[in-house]
Amino acid sequence: MSMDLEEQYDKIYRYCYFKVHQRETAEDLTQETFLRFLDSSDYVNTGKALQYLYTIARNLCVDEYRKNKTEVLDKDVEEVADNHSETDMITRISVKMALEKLEEADRELLLLRYVNEVPVSVICKLYGISRFAVYRRLSQAAKGLKSKLGEEDFT
């Protein structure tokens, strides 16, 4: 499997940021993920490279959470306000607040599939579940997000 490492770097960064909510920490975790990934040449040239990359990132994020165990306020609201229209900013904040009300597993699954566009086959391997189970969990997570947003037509 040939991967575009720059594209994956951005996706792993988003994944880490979504998990830790701190830009600097997400950058550090992303860098550490790729250092460990590249040090493990066993997986780099196999079909399991993407799965291994996300496994490393996930484990590092869990370790970071265990290390800190504190809730961190999001410092990027000003940046969002500067770069987006008011309507767009309100939508982003609403979605973010709705996501935060979901279970961690549902948030992670939605992030992997819809934000980072990780293939279902890779998600199956990450979680050790069938394709059917992944689709069922994605559907349930999306329904949960819809109910948190209070919008019937959210897709």
CA–chain centroid gap for 83, Å, is: 22
Among 41, 75, 109, the domain boundary falls at 75
Q: What is the pLDDT of residue 51?
A: 86
Walk along the chain (155 residues) and give the pLDDT tens digit of each residue. Answer: 457 788 889 999 999 998 888 899 999 999 999 999 888 866 666 667 888 888 999 899 888 877 775 444 344 444 444 555 667 667 777 777 777 888 888 888 988 888 888 889 888 988 889 999 999 999 999 898 888 887 544 44
Question: What does the alpha-carbon distance between residue 91 and residue 88 come to, in Å, rounded to a whole number?
Answer: 5
> Alpha-carbon torsion 60, 116, 134, 34, what sign?
negative
- Report whether 119 contacts 51 (CB < 8 A): no
Task: Name residue, tokens 């599939």.
Answer: 113
Q: Would you say 53 and 37 are in contact if contact means Cβ atoms under 8 Å apart?
A: yes
Q: Give the domain-ending residue among 75, 104, 137.
A: 75
Task: Tell me: do 37 and 92 sit in the same domain.
Answer: no
38 and 85 fall within a common domain: no
Q: What pLDDT is attached to residue 25? A: 93
Q: Which domain covers residue 30, as residue numbers?
A: 1-75
Residues 63 and 87 in one domain: no
* Residue 34, both tokens: 């790729």
- On whether both 89 and 58 belong to a single domain, the answer is no
φ and ψ at residue 71, rounded to 5 degrees:
-85, 130
Same domain, 65 and 3: yes
Whether residues 137 and 99 fall in one domain:
yes
Residues 6+ apart with CB under 8 A from 97: 148
If asked whether residues 44 and 113 sit together in one domain, one would say no
Name the one residue in this structure whose structure tokens are 């969990």: 137
Q: Which residues of 63-102 are buried (b: 16+ CB within 10 A; e: fewer)?
A: ebeeeeeeeeeeeeeeeeeeeeeeeeeeeeeeeeebbeeb
Task: Please tell me whether residues 63 and 95 are part of one structural domain.
Answer: no
Structural domains counted in the chain: 2
Residue 7 lies in a domain: yes
